[in-house]
Chains A and B, each alone.
Chain A
């Protein structure tokens, strides 16, 4: 989950650099936007950590909702209004209801402790993950990459429904159509795996 924060950080840095062509990094870093970014970023990373470490599945689900809201806020601060609202509606709304229903229907009893044994594989895995994380942080913190300019005149134009709709039905019409085939395949798959009566 924390990779999310890094990703949005990179995107944010991209916006920052665009607007700060005249003033330097330190001046622009005290804006409200920056403050919001760090707050929401901290909430999303923190809630993601809480989500994977809670024992009760309901608590995990609640932290996941918090995480979705924080991500929605991040999208909003990037002027992606439409994505932000879809994030809240679809993820925090619909998908979370499904989660909670599944938890309810499974009627999970007391938590059984997973038998976690010590193994070298885990140590090596943790070491590698830590190494990759450090590498990513290093790259994002210290690289002076030239990032391309935005296609839009006004930053607020990026995420409007009109613009997304225009893009979706002109440039990205083909991927949009392919998505429908993908969803159909997923529906067929769900029926195959979940249909009660075989044959």
Chain B
């Protein structure tokens, strides 16, 4: 037992990110009032970890005495979290400077939160699941309230914290019951016991509580109430990070625990998840139509997307797993980009966040309008872009698992979503307005947006690149 050298090398992306987060902390405390230093160190840390992750996509191996899975599935998920963190850091600097709250702790917390996500995706033990979720959430609670002078930001942090603490209670109680009935927290051991345990009502109660906790983290109906308020109040780039990295991490754990370990295909748990998916699609899309604030619209849209992805978990087959993994990557680039543009448009005191503020943007800022159009088209699931294939794969999985009704509902609610995504495009291109910026967009923000947009187009043109890779994780 204990920690060996090979454990460290096999989990190089994780360990290097932890070390870089410590380094950022040291740099921040040395270089007083020089958050730019922390920005560079954290960007370098995420970059190094990202580069190392590409070398860890082979077969997954358990490390740290079977507490953590590295490589394979976890390695791929790390790519998602690190891309999200990288783009968020790039976009945040200009935004925080304009909002007059640029401090180095922001980057430290982004790194810590990313470490938490990486733990969640690789968890092979319920204790690791818990610690990962807590590390991610504690950092995000603070990031949501990072603009201390803004009432909305404080409200957002408090709301997220109180409800998140409640969700943690559900998670722990669920883990306690699963431990009580199986006698172990080791997920591999539980997966072997699952055939007997699946008839044990106390075990099922534990699973139900886990579904509640995970549904809260991915903001699925009826555990979504926090999302619009938190996304609206939090710093806009943090909202982007929460709706992509954090959501992807929660989905990775959901997938790991409920499909890989519990094998819920055809059980009552799969039915429960299918109902949650259906409710998320309907409530998310219908409520999004009525929004006037773009940030709130994106929040409801992220609830709807959680619904689409959940249909892949309800299906619980290989198509569903690979579909969700593709979807998560595509969605990460799209949503970080969309929130990034909103953060560029935003002014101090929550100004310029409404739909009308985008009227006529194409005339004055054509580049931003084109990028936003790409993101909106991808969110709506219009073919050449990656969003289409994400939806296609998860709905295909639902059909294969005899959940055709869920796939039909998904397509119908996607049609509703086209209305509010394209409304923004129509406002930008076909309305006379005076949407403009009173500041120049930093080049690093444009680079981040360009990376996101190019990734969406490439993923949309060559989805097989990712699908073949993710399929290799599930050949057992």
Binding site for B on A (CB under 8 A): 3, 7, 10-11, 14, 135-136, 139-140, 143, 145-149, 151, 169-175, 177-179, 181-182, 184-186, 188-189, 191-193, 198-199
Contacts and interface: CB of A to CB of B under 8 A. Distances in A.
Nearest to A139: B201
A147 B135 CA distance: 32
Given A149-B183, A188-B105, A181 B115 contact: yes
B286 interface: no
Contacts of A145: 181, 200-203
A7 B201 contact: no
Contact of B139 (A170, A175, A185, A198): A185
Contact of A192 (B105, B127, B177, B182): B105
B200 A189 contact: no
Contact of B201 (A143, A151, A185): A143
Closest A-B pairs by Cβ, 8 of them: A148-B183, A189-B142, A174-B64, A185-B112, A170-B1, A174-B67, A143-B201, A178-B131
Interface of B: 1-3, 18, 21, 25, 33, 64-65, 67-68, 101, 103, 105, 108-109, 112-113, 115-116, 119, 125, 127-128, 131-132, 134-135, 138-139, 141-142, 145-146, 148-149, 157, 169, 173, 176-177, 180-184, 196, 200-203, 205
Given A3-B173, A182-B138, A191-B105, A170 B2 contact: yes
B421 to A, nearest CB: 30
A193 B109 CA distance: 12
A7 B18 CA distance: 35
B109 A139 contact: no
Most chain A Cβ neighbours within 10 Å, of B1, B21, B128? B1
A19 B149 CA distance: 59
Contacts of B139: 185, 189
Contacts of B176: 7
B1 A173 contact: yes
B112 A188 contact: yes
A138 to B, nearest CB: 9
A181 B116 CA distance: 9
A191 B146 CA distance: 11
B39 to A, nearest CB: 15
B67 A175 contact: yes
A174 B3 contact: yes
Given A3-B173, A170-B2, A182-B134, 6 more contacts: A11-B180, A149-B183, A174-B68, A185-B112, A193-B145, A193-B157
Nearest to A135: B205
A50 to B, nearest CB: 20
A188 B109 contact: yes
A25 B132 CA distance: 40
B1 A198 contact: no
Contacts of B145: 193
Contacts of B146: 192
Contacts of A147: 180-181, 183
Nearest to B131: A178
Nearest to B134: A182
Contact of A185 (B65, B127, B135): B135
6 contacts: A11-B180, A139-B205, A143-B202, A149-B183, A170-B65, A178-B132
Contacts of B138: 182, 185-186, 189
Contact of A148 (B25, B119, B181): B181
B13 to A, nearest CB: 15
A122 B2 CA distance: 50
Contacts of A178: 119, 128, 131-132, 135
A10 B180 contact: yes
A83 B195 CA distance: 33
Contact of B65 (A14, A139, A151, A173): A173
A104 B181 CA distance: 44
A147 B200 CA distance: 9
A182 B116 CA distance: 8
A101 B64 CA distance: 41
Nearest to B177: A10
A181 B112 contact: yes
A179 B1 contact: no
Most chain A Cβ neighbours within 10 Å, of B157, B169, B180, B184? B180
A70 B72 CA distance: 47
B161 to A, nearest CB: 10
B109 A192 contact: yes
Contacts of B101: 198
Contact of A181 (B18, B180, B201): B18
A52 to B, nearest CB: 14
A181 B173 contact: no
Contacts of A191: 105
B199 to A, nearest CB: 9
B167 to A, nearest CB: 14
B182 to A, nearest CB: 7
A56 B200 CA distance: 44
B128 A199 contact: no
Contacts of A173: 1-3, 64-65
A79 B176 CA distance: 17
Nearest to B28: A188
A35 B138 CA distance: 40
Contacts of B132: 178
A182 B200 CA distance: 34
Contacts of B202: 10, 139-140, 143, 145
B226 to A, nearest CB: 15
Contact of B131 (A14, A182, A188): A182
A139 B18 CA distance: 43
Nearest to A4: B173
A179 B134 CA distance: 10
Contacts of B173: 3, 7
Contacts of A14: 180
A147 B119 CA distance: 30
Given A136-B205, A188-B108, A192-B142, A174 B181 contact: no
Contacts of B18: 181
Contacts of B142: 188-189, 192-193
A10 B181 CA distance: 10
